[in-house]
Structure 1
Amino acid sequence: MPKFALMYQYDPAVAGPTEDELQEWLDLDKEARGAGVLVHEAGFHDAGAARTVCVRDAATIVDDGVTAAPGAVVAGFYVVDVADINAATSWARRIPTARYGSVDVRPVVEYDG
């Protein structure tokens, strides 16, 4: 079966996760594990704890925080192993962040080498 990354993001200036969501996240994790589709899952710390690295003309530029663009930031991701993009989309809609942000469903490239 193909793997899909479900990358969830939101704009912290507009909305964000609440403590009330905790049980939803736990239930989603348990359901995905029980269905045997969960490959990996991780959330990220606040974007301010990140670092952005760019290389331009052989010069490395390092900035603290996520500096690519203002607005929505990726907050975490799931990788699921499901039949097709429709099944992956069904899992993506269960991610609580989808209610105030969005979830990108992306096929994962797998290399055999």
Structure 2
Amino acid sequence: MPKFALIYQYDFAATGPIEGEVAHWFAYDKEVRETGVLVYEAGFHEPCTGRTVSVRDGVAVVDDGVAPTSGAILAGLYVVDVANINAATSWAAKIPTARYGSVDVRPVVEYEG
């Protein structure tokens, strides 16, 4: 079966977790594990705790903090192993962050070798 990344994000400045959301996350996490579709999941710390790295003309430039590309910041991801993009989309719609942010559904490229 193909794998899909469910990448969730929201605008930290405009919105945030809703009341009771932790219970929704525990329920989602339990369901995705018990059904056997979970491959990997991870949440991210706040952008200010990371670094942004770019290489220009062979020189690495490192900045503390993650450079925002828009108002929405990546909050985490799940990788699921499901039949097709429609099934992955159904799992994405269950992610609590989808209620106030968004979830990108992206096919995962797997390299053999």
Aligning the two structures, in what range does the TM-score lie when normalised by the shorter sequence?
Answer: over 0.9
> How large is the RMSD of aligned CA atoms in angstroms?
1.0
- Equivalent residue, structure 2, for 1:20: 20
- Equivalent residue, structure 2, for 1:48: 48
- Equivalent residue, structure 2, for 1:97: 97
- Equivalent residue, structure 2, for 1:61: 61
Q: Please list every run of 5 or more consecutive structure 2 residues that lacks an aligned counterpart in the other structure.
A: none
Percent of matched pairs sharing the same residue: 67
Length-normalised TM-score, structure 2 = 0.96
Residues of 2 paired with 1:108 and 1:50: CA distance?
24
Q: Which moved more, 1:67-76 or 1:93-102?
A: 67-76
Q: Secondary structure at the match of 2:29?
A: helix
Which aligned segments of 4 or more residues in structure 1 are displaced greater than 6 angstroms?
A: none
Code of the residue aligned with 1:95 in structure 2: it is: I
> How many residues are treated as equivalent by the alignment?
113
- Equivalent residue, structure 2, for 1:31: 31
Q: Which moved more, 1:86-95 or 1:12-21?
A: 12-21
Q: Which moved more, 1:12-21 or 1:76-85?
A: 12-21
Length-normalised TM-score, structure 1 = 0.96
- Equivalent residue, structure 2, for 1:108: 108
The alpha-carbon deviation at position 77 of structure 1 amounts to 0.1
Code of the residue aligned with 2:15 in structure 1: it is: A
Residues of 2 paired with 1:67 and 1:74: CA distance?
11
Code of the residue aligned with 2:17 in structure 1: it is: P
Show CA shifts across 1:67-86 (max 9, x none). 14241110000000000000
